[in-house]
Amino acid sequence: MKPIQFSREETAVLKARLRAYFRDELEVELRDLPAEMLIDFLAREIGPFFYNRALYDAQAVLKKKADDMAEAVAGLERSE
């Protein structure tokens, strides 16, 4: 599977959020390099779990829609 990669803009947003979280919740000042390393770790080690969960959720939505369409088509049947 292709590794999860973020654009520079996305990485900047993620770094800012991580740094704010560490500062506000843990009272730790997180510098840029450790923040980037943490983002890389999370993307590599934990990201696939979130990605797979999103796929399962998308599959469930598609299955429901397909079932709804099949039911709608069946409702168009004409009696003889």
Give the integer Cα–Cα distance in Å for 64 and 61. 5
Question: What is the pTM (predicted TM-score) of this model?
Answer: 0.76
Residue 12's contacts (CB-CB under 8 Å, 6 or more residues apart) are: none
Per residue in 2-46, pLDDT (tens digit) is 888 999 999 999 999 999 999 999 999 999 999 999 999 999 999
Mean pLDDT of 44-67: 96
**Amino acid identity, position 16:** A
